[in-house]
Amino acid sequence: MLKKIRNFKNKFDIRWKFLIIGKYLGIRIYPTHFYLRGFKSLVFKIWFHLIINEQIKKKKKQFLKEIYEFAEIKGNQKANFLISSPSSGGNFIRHLLSSYFEIKFNTGNGIPKFDNQTNKWKFNSSPIMSGDLFNFVQLERYPINYDIISKEEYNKKKIFLSRYPFRSRILNITLYPSLFKIEKIKPIILFREPFDWIVSRYCWYENIKFQDTNTVDESLIQYDLDNYNNYLFYWLNYVKNNENNQYLLIEFNNIIKDEKKTFLKILNFLNYEILEEKKINHILRVNSKEFALENLGTKFMGTRFTDNKKKENIKKKIFEFSSKYLEKNKINENYIKLKNSI
């Protein structure tokens, strides 16, 4: 009897539970039609809250379970992290790793799928999750399927994302990887040549603001470059105070000029199995800008790829002010020091 009750509780959603109960009672509890207006809409509102609360309860249970499984670090263990300032190759590396995961565990063909409505690229499965509690709780994320990969194996493969210590423009606040202490992470740190970086950021800013003007937003450049300098300085101190096998520095140009070598270096750092060359080449090809735009099947509305003509115009427009600001604040010096630490 207890087994039947347990199966009833776990197997059926709230709709089927009341349909089954109603069948035994000889009455219809779950309506055949909902009225959205008038007095009868009260029934609709009750059922709406019952259904949404059940979904929330399931997600809450899923997230709590995952946090305890994946965010608890014991003893001398450290969590794999992908640390990236914006516009420094983080999306590309994340996509490569997700494609690897699909290919390695036969959950898909490794090709990222783009959703124009949400401006997001999607994968069937991925080792990537956020190191921040707020972003960890993503309602659209499905639970990990342990029929595909064991819990132990996934725990070894998981990678957390963070931009630490990059500040948000909102209230000028640094968002910490709140599920972890810094000393408990093993980071891959992405960075980029400062002028090239600010050009990319400025392009992104104009794209999301739908603006194209000859006026230079000096306050934006100052804020972003100060922010980026703080990022460079923090990780420069980090690498000085940690053994080089505890972190991996990746400069953006190496991703562009020698993506295969860089990808293999990342896989080795994460202790991932190196797949056969044909599969590695496939992963790199399907995540290229050329492949994405050629096979998208619709007009690209996202912000991942910058139009080259627009980029050249931005370079000319902000060159003088940005160059002076970079020199004045010795930002290039921190970049060169970090680059020489590779």
The SS3 assignment for 215 reads: coil
b/e sequence 45-75, b meaning 16+ C-beta within 10 Å? eebeeeeeeeeeeebeebbeebeeebbeeee
- Position 78, amino acid: K
Q: Which of 174, 183, 157 is nearest to 242 (CA)?
A: 183
Provide the pLDDT for residue 309: 84
The SS3 assignment for 40 reads: coil
Tell me which DSSP letter residue 174 carries: E
List per-block mean pLDDT (blocks of 10 residues) for the chain, which spans 342 residues: 73 89 90 92 94 93 92 87 95 96 94 79 91 88 85 92 86 81 95 96 80 84 96 96 95 94 97 97 93 69 67 93 96 97 93
- What's the CA gap between 260 and 280, in Å, rounded? 8
Provide the pLDDT for residue 76: 84
CA 322 to chain CA centroid, nearest Å: 29
Burial of residue 312 (CB within 10 Å: 0-12, 13-18, 19+) is exposed
Contact 99, 110 (CB under 8 A): yes
- What's the CA gap between 192 and 336, in Å, rounded? 10
- What's the CA gap between 339 and 137, in Å, rounded? 34
Q: Which of 49, 51, 45, 161 is nearest to 98 (CA)?
A: 161
Provide the pLDDT for residue 300: 55
Q: What is the pTM of this model?
A: 0.87
The residues, ordered by sequence, that sit 6+ positions from 61 with a Cβ below 8 Å of its Cβ are none
Question: Facing residues of 251 across strands?
Answer: 191
Backbone angles phi, psi at 126, to 5 degrees: -160, 150
Provide the pLDDT for residue 142: 78
Q: Which of 33, 69, 32, 214 is nearest to 154 (CA)?
A: 69
- What's the CA gap between 1 and 27, in Å, rounded? 24
Question: Facing residues of 250 across strands?
Answer: 190
Provide the pLDDT for residue 299: 58
Provide the pLDDT for residue 308: 79
Q: Which of 168, 167, 158, 1 is nearest to 94 (CA)?
A: 158
Provide the pLDDT for residue 296: 67
Tokens of 159: 């990678």
Question: Facing residues of 174 across strands?
Answer: 167
Tokens of 131: 């190191």
Kindly report the CATH number that applies to the domain delimited by 78-340: 3.40.50.300
Domain boundaries, the chain: 2-63, 78-340
- What's the CA gap between 305 and 300, in Å, rounded? 9
- What's the CA gap between 115 and 291, in Å, rounded? 16
